[in-house]
Structure 1
Amino acid sequence: MPSRERRRGTALALLGVLAFSGSFPATVHAMRGFDPWLVATGRAAVAGALALICLVVARRPLLPSRRDLPAHVLIALGVVLGFPALSGLALDLGASTSHAAVVTGLLPAATAVYAVLRTGERPRPLFWAACTAGALAITAFTLTRQQSHASWPDLLLLGALLSAAVGYTEGGRLSRRAPGWQVISQTLVLSLPVSVPVTAVLALTTPVAPTPEAVAGFAYVSVISMFLAFVPWYAGLAMGGIARAGQTQLVQPLLVLVWAWFLMGERFDPVTVAAALAVLVCVAVTQRART
């Protein structure tokens, strides 16, 4: 793979990571006015409507081909329904934004493992060493920020982690043959028969308090996290290699903490800076370790 294409893939993946990094704080804000299940399904319904419009305007098929249908189903189960629902419930049950960052700290490693099993990518040993070091560094950092841990939120975050790894890998694989925006759009449209009816029922049966804060959070996870962020993310995975470009997500937990400080008033100390430098070194090593 040409080095220029790899660098472009890394840049696109980083753009997607930046967009994804606001998801946890935005979800917390959204759940202050809406039920967690409503946030999880409602974001898919709104994003699905936007995706439908984009496909119609671009005159692209609304649904995937029979050949790609199984992969799109896995994407839907992984990142359209699974990750939003499981991570949102974990946050609702008491996991802080910082603790939820453990998910994104371990996600690159899980994505790399699934990519090896699913696509046949074979990174060098140096890649795995840097990947493991980065995952351990960010996990240790985020765990030391906590005073206690609840078992159910941890299990839910683990399920969210595995769901996202599957969805990212399948989407990156399909984006080698079709534009990333088309891949996520067709998946979202495919999910509409589930997301729209469930959202309608939950909107009528659960408490709703549409404060400006809650609406802004819901708009972010619907438009950015569920749709627009996947466009550069899938393109980056396809161009840079799923296992390799996916390691850019090691910086996401630290970006989450920055958003938590900016939006929620949480503070971070010099240890955070040290962790940031350690993770950035690991990311740099993974980008130099060719497949």
Structure 2
Amino acid sequence: MGERRRAAESGGTMLAFLGVLAFSGSLPGTVYAMEGFDPWLVAIGRAAVAGAVALVCLKAAGLPALPPRAHWRAYGLISLGVVFGFPVFSGLALHLGASTAHGAVVIGLLPAATAVCAVLMAGERPRPVFWAASGAGALVITVFTFTRTETTAAWPDLLLVGALLSAAVGYTVGGRLARHTPGWQVVSYALVLSLPVTVPVSAVLAAVTPITPTPPALAGFAYVALISMFLGFIPWYAGLARGGIARAGQTQLTQPLLTLVWAWFLMGERYGPATVAAALAVLVCVAVTQRART
């Protein structure tokens, strides 16, 4: 039984990391998308596009368009957290001056916030060594990112905190539902339930805001709509369900460093030995959290 559980946890960790890999391009993708689209249109429009794709997938699988009514409250929380909260707060923070690297502070603190939510909302009880490693990883990412970027104004930082809290709640509730519902259905139902809001709001925003559909802007919008908002959540929720929300969620400690890699590859940012040292430190912290049993 112990071997079977460890295999499930390891598989969950790998699935969660695939989700993190997909999410790591979200901030650069948002920056590119906002070069041609209004920030509000990027935040809400991506959910409208992803919701339409999710609806098609549900119908193609012969499933109802709406989840069981008993779970509507849970899916509503997921929608508020990851369909509306995180995209809106993070997009506005970037629009108001937060850099891509500075926004990575949110991701650095998110695994710890998700672990706290897993305790409060999903009944998980990680061991003290888990908390020590999780806190150390969050500290490494926070210190590293702040030493690499200029301090932004108060409003972007407050918006980033809002994005952090929104995502932590959405991840926890979604991971809990994914214990008995496939991950792709969890994110699909959350997106479809949001369509009555996202579609009309997106239509109005598209009509009243300037649009410059350059290839980079379209590529960025397509990425955040199809990958960040939909495809990335499929392995992510499955990984949280199999590996434990708190435990598998710690793989997201690697996301800020992956985001910096995207920023280097796409935006020409350059990094030195400090980046390598931070990457190694984070990998050690993630390894410790994965060995800590719940």
- Shorter-normalised TM-score: what interval? over 0.9
**Matched residue, 1:186:** 189
CA distance in 1, matches of 2:208, 2:270: 37
Q: Deviations over 1:253-280 (max 9, x none)?
A: 0000000000001111100000000000
After superposition, residues 80-229 of structure 1 pair within 5 angstroms as 80-229=83-232
Q: Which amino acid aligns with 2:19?
A: G
**Matched residue, 1:279:** 282
Q: Deviations over 1:109-156 (max 9, x none)?
A: 000000100011000000000000000000000011122321100000
SS in 2 for 1:262: helix
CA distance in 2, matches of 1:246, 1:61: 29
CA distance in 2, matches of 1:215, 1:147: 29
The Cα shift of 1:65 comes to 1.1
Q: Which amino acid aligns with 1:70?
A: R
The Cα shift of 1:87 comes to 0.1
Q: Which amino acid aligns with 1:243?
A: A
The one of 9, 13, 16 aligned to 2:12 = 9
- State the number of aligned residues: 291
**Matched residue, 2:241:** 238
CA distance in 1, matches of 2:191, 2:270: 36
The one of 266, 274, 278 aligned to 2:269 = 266
CA distance in 2, matches of 1:173, 1:53: 24
Backbone CA RMSD of aligned residues: 0.6
The Cα shift of 1:92 comes to 0.4
The Cα shift of 1:61 comes to 1.9
CA distance in 1, matches of 2:287, 2:71: 33
SS in 2 for 1:67: helix
Structure 1 segments, 4+ long, off by >6 Å, are none
The one of 21, 26, 29 aligned to 1:26 = 29
CA distance in 2, matches of 1:130, 1:228: 29
The Cα shift of 1:197 comes to 0.2
CA distance in 1, matches of 2:172, 2:146: 26
Q: TM-score with structure 2 length normalisation? A: 0.98
